[in-house]
Amino acid sequence: MQDHVTLLRPEAPRPEDRGLSASLPHDLLEQVRARVRMLALLVIIGFAIDPLLFFGSMLVARLAGSPVPPEYVRQVAFYVADIGVVAVSAGLWWVARSASVSSARLLVLGLAYEIVICFVIALRTLWEHWRVMGSLPNLTWVPAVVILFPLILPAPPRVMLAASIAAGAMQPLALLLLDAWGQVPVRSADFINSSINSAIAVGFAYLGARVIYGLGRQVAAARELGSYRLTEQLGQGGMGEVWRAEHRMLARPAAIKLIRRSRLGGAPAAASSDAVRRFEREAQAIARLRSPHTVDLFDFGLADDGSFYYVMELLDGLDAHALVRRHGPVPPERAVFLLRQACHSLSEAESCGLVHRDIKPANIFLCRYGEDCDFVKVLDFGIVKGSDEEAKGDPAGALTRENAIQGTPAFIAPEQALGTGMLDGRADVYALGCVAYWLLTGQLVFTADTALGMVVQHSTAVPVPPSARTDRAIPPALDALVLACLAKDPAARPQTARELSRRLAEAVDPGSWSEQRARAWWNEHMPSMNV
């Protein structure tokens, strides 16, 4: 998967959500908020129109000095009831937009709201229709509301059945009250007709609840991967997806990267096989590395549906691309602090004979890691390659010998782009030089209208020194080192990530970006991630 996903900390499922709809995915439950807000808004609009017209006409009559007709006075109670429904709906809308109220509690409030709305609709409709028309209506909006609610709230069928029965009973209850108050003479046939309508609506509501809730359960079951349950999709790219996940027994969250067989269905068999093999190679490569600055791999497996997945640590922070986009170029001492940590990861990869081949700002992730701030994790080894594969004639090397360019054009070494010579860690050193350029200037080394034009620039054009592209002061030694990393000839670059780390420390005092400065930056710019 080439597209990197910034794994910002999503809100974890609350304990309160493990109630009525505990078996549904958290993100599906969260959709209830938008649905409830929309429902409340529609009810507000529907019930506010008549009172506005009614009281508006009364106000106009008063201002004109005309007496208010007696029938208007007798109808005031109906429109006061409408205003009450508007107030209750506005309260529900306000509660639904608050993240402090769990989805399970919102579900309970929504079901209670259904019952209240049905009672008001039944009482108002029956009473007013009798007073105006002298007869009771054959049908009210109560059955429609009862049928509609299961489509909005994914409650368990038994819970929805109980709520639907209570809501449907509001119409016979309204008839009973109107008859007891002496407002409407109600016949037995009216009770029977009302009860039949409500019973039919309850039946449809129960069937709808079974279908909707069943679909949600199927989604939840489809998201079970081994000991992990997928809770929220964080992003996708190409044929891969990244999900937030929970272990069934452990509280520690994780990120799962997976490639679904269904997404390979339309691809040629060879391409599908290569994609799966490349995915396996990425997991195996990460598993070999022990640097604290390489993203940790927890697990790897094959799901029941044939999807491959691996489980990695879920990081709290942002990548270097987002860092510069949001906050601008970083001071030279901070850039050195971040780059040296990336060098630590790549140095170990070199010692294992691996070339990352896709180093870019989106794959340099900054996070809070325990007590440390600005802790770097190198991500996405999706096109990692052994530096000696071709020399050994390794058939697995065919996975990375496609006609398409492997890597990101804005951060690709000339020899990688042109496919000339043996690739080794110096290609990653070139890419780190491009990342350093981005961190220091907020600009790419080269720009072009197309990916091919970008590749040509990296292969032939002479880069402008970073100091010429920014108003910030860049130490001459660091300026020269970045240009050395960007040399077209690999022999003219720092030869290893370890050497680059040493020269970075010589270019800028590594102690000038301290833990105190890093913590102060995070507290100021990303306080929501305080732990």
Which residues are part of the catalytic machinery?
358
Provide the b/e sequence for 160-185 (b: ≥16 CB within 10 Å).
Answer: bbebbbbbbbbbbbbbebbeeeeebe
| C-alpha distance from residue 362 to each of 7, 73, 313 (Å) | 11, 68, 17
Count of other CB atoms within 10 angstroms of residue 207: 13
Beta bridge partners of 459: none
CB 412 within 8 A of CB 488: no
Contacts of 413 (CB under 8 A, 6+ apart): 407, 423, 426, 427, 428, 430, 431, 458, 490
For residue 154, which amino acid is it? P
Q: Which residue in this structure is represented by tokens 């080894």?
A: 381
Torsion from C-alpha of 336, 388, 487, 407, nearest 10 degrees: -70
CB 146 within 8 A of CB 201: yes
- Up-side HSE of residue 76: CA atoms within 13 Å toward CB? 7
Q: Annotate 361-404 with DSSP letters as a single string.
A: GGGEEEEEETTEEEEEEE---TT-EETTHHHHT-GGGGGG--SS
User: If DSSP codes are grouped into helix, strand and coil, which group holds residue 138?
Assistant: coil
Q: Which residue in this structure is represented by tokens 């609506």?
A: 201
CB 173 within 8 A of CB 146: no
The whole-angstrom separation of Cα 379 and Cα 286 is 9
Count of other CB atoms within 10 angstroms of residue 187: 11
The whole-angstrom separation of Cα 27 and Cα 3 is 22
The whole-angstrom separation of Cα 508 and Cα 466 is 15
